[in-house]
Amino acid sequence: MSPFQKRSQLTTSRIRVLVVDDFEPFRAFVCSALQQKPELEVIAELSDGLAAVQKAEELNPDLILLDIGLPTLNGIDAARQIRKLVPKPKIIFLSQESSDDVVQEALSSGALGYVVKALAGSELLPAVEAVLRGRRFVSRGVTGQEVRPSCAPVESQKTEIARRHEVIFYRDDASFLKIFSRFIAAALESGNAVLFVATESHLGSLRRTLEARGVDVATGVQKGTYVPVNVEEMLSAFMVDGFPDRDRLLRVAADLIGKASKAVNGKHRGVSACGECAPTLLGEWSVGAAIRVEQLWDEVARIYAVDILCGYSYDSFQCDENRQIFQRICGEHSTVHQDQGAS
């Protein structure tokens, strides 16, 4: 029996949770995930480390979900102060950092859990359950460590995610170019072919950025290992009456992936894809169409074992009415990344 079930059967009291993260859309994502368990009650949301210490002392919560990169006082120092003032709350860190040194320092502050943000969609609730049982949980995303989440059977850790369909939320065009040029350059360097679907403006600026990094774009285009695709042309090939047609999209994707795969003399595993198909639709307020495109690209990723990276400007999700859309977008991806500049 999980601590969630036990608590609901034995008492009407709730597990009181304090959520601390200065990136508001991610904070909203965390709160939404916690709502899946009615026993979990978010009693406060904060964006500052010092405020977290003060509020923890005031409210004495059962559980604190804590980012590391916080203003005024970083999360690790905040955790140390909280443990001195109110030893009751259990602490789970949610952070982009996955290096051994950072993880060990965070856990040495008295925390029981550490979840890499990129894996929060699948690991947050298991981490909460494990920590509430008094057991340590360390994300499988931590580099260089053979540490398994303590709430999961060892056997289950042998099964990898069947596809890589990832999303990153970036701040501005400069971040977009940095992120996608790095992704594309790394894929090409590893011997993969790359499909890049973007606006005409981004196609041009990304090419210049890649060339500045020393990537021979012209040769890549000539050989077919780098395939730039205009997003408007791509959408017109499979959109019908303002909504994506599944058969058309799969045909278009199969054709592009097949040609790219031949260019690297490999099978479909030698292809990566990235860009802004669904984000373009979302920018036109075609929310349903954007979500459906993400679902179909997810199907493509599963069928052809293609690595896919989608990019959205996180500024599009700042207002309250867009929080639910943000959460839905996150839910359609295997991994969620946040631009480092967004904290």
pLDDT of residue 319: 65
Domain 3-155 and domain 165-342 have a common topology: yes
* Segments of the chain with pLDDT less than 70: 1-12, 141-163, 266-269, 318-321, 340-343
* DSSP single-letter state for residue 36: T
- What the block records as the tokens of 311 is 């990019």
Measured at the alpha carbon of residue 16, what is the angle toward residues 15 and 20, in degrees to the nearest 5?
130
pLDDT of residue 159: 32
Among 3.40.50.720, 3.40.50.80, 3.40.50.300, 3.40.640.10, what is the CATH number of 165-342?
3.40.50.300
pLDDT of residue 300: 87
pLDDT of residue 283: 84
Among 3.40.50.720, 3.40.50.10800, 3.40.50.10140, 3.40.50.2300, what is the CATH number of 3-155?
3.40.50.2300
Measured at the alpha carbon of residue 74, what is the angle toward residues 70 and 76, in degrees to the nearest 5?
130
255: which residues sit within 8 A by CB, 6+ positions away?
Answer: none
pTM of the predicted model as reported, rounded to 2 decimal places = 0.58
Q: Cα separation of 183 and 309, whole Å? A: 8
Residue 276: count other Cβ atoms within 10 Å of its Cβ. Answer: 22
Reported as a single tens digit per residue, the pLDDT across 72-126 is 999 999 999 999 999 999 999 999 888 888 998 999 999 999 998 877 878 899 9
- For the chain, the domains span 3-155, 165-342
